[in-house]
Amino acid sequence: MGFRRFKTQKWLWIFALLFFVLLYLLAISLPNVNSDSCECSPTTGKHQLPAENAENEISDHHNNNRLAVIVPFRDRFQELIEFVPHIHKFLSNQSVLHDIFIINQSDNFRFNRASLINVGFVHISLLEKFDYIAMHDVDLLPVNPQLKYVNPGDGFALHIASPKLHPKYHYETFVGGILILTIGDFKKLNGLSNKYWGWGLEDDEFFHRMKQSGIKVLRPDNITEKENCFRHVHDSKKRVRDQQKCYDQKTASRKRDRITGLSDLSYRIDSISSLQIDTAPATLVNVFLDCNKTLTPWCSCP
């Protein structure tokens, strides 16, 4: 009896040992599910896509965005009649959701491109349906379909009319003509300076605003026909630039403006109306700007 009991216990120990060996082998064969090494995309982050789908994801993202085209304007109706249908068709061909806003200066002060853009920005912000803006000269028409009016995203500004492509201005810090930013970044920069009455230099000051705020300027690349990107419809004989400098304007306009912008913008909207030019829709905003003659007496030169 003792021998049989010993033999039975021996087999029990063998079976128990084999059972634990099988459990161990099963355990090491299972995949590691430690959350620290999980290769899946977290639900709060951006999903990783195959390389061939990455470009489509960007395109779809931009197609869901809406662009406000802000055009500072005064007494240039020939250019306007050509501009609105052209830019509407150009953007529609790119499937860019957009609205065009003509900000018309109705007062008797000298033309202030920057303040008009600021007014346009305040107006479109109240509509709460736009993701990014294009500050657009009325006399500069894009003709190369490779010029894409996409949302550059926060932290970037897309300069469509780059120095290498603009028909007239070629210096490296030039950011005029057509510049695209997100709503958030334009607000972060406090818009443009309101000190620039007359023609020029407001975009140069804006370049330094962007640079000091860490906003990187992007410019179109891979453009195959650089000589034929824009049509500049400005007639310098009929439309003489207001380059007069009075009081201490010349000195003041060369300095970085850390005071004026959206925060001190003063104006009155006279009227807002919808218009169509060759079936292309636009909104006309008639504006009376105010001038702080203590700060900028050159809004009206003697």
d(CA 90, CA 60): 18
pLDDT at position 208 is: 96
Looking at every residue in the chain, the average pLDDT score rounds to: 84
**CA–CA separation, 189 and 149 (whole Å):** 21
What is the mean predicted confidence (pLDDT) over 114-121? Answer: 98
Is the predicted pLDDT of residue 126 greater than 70, yes or no?
yes
- Strands in 152-291 per DSSP E: 156-159, 178-182, 216-218, 230-232, 267-277, 280-289
Q: What is the pLDDT of residue 227?
A: 79
Contact 70, 101 (CB under 8 A): yes
Residue 73, pLDDT score: 96
Q: Give the whole-angstrom CA distance, residue 300 versus residue 18.
A: 99
Q: How far apart are CA 73 and CA 105, in angstroms?
A: 6
Q: Which residue has the higher pLDDT, 169 or 47?
A: 169
Q: What is the pLDDT of residues 198-227, one digit of tens each?
A: 988 999 999 999 999 999 999 998 888 777
| DSSP per-residue letters across 194-205 | S---SSS-HHHH
Q: Give the predicted TM-score (pTM) of the model.
A: 0.79
Phi/psi at 5 (5° precision): -60, -40
Residue partners of 298: CB distance under 8 A and separation at least 6: 110, 197, 198, 245, 246, 247, 249
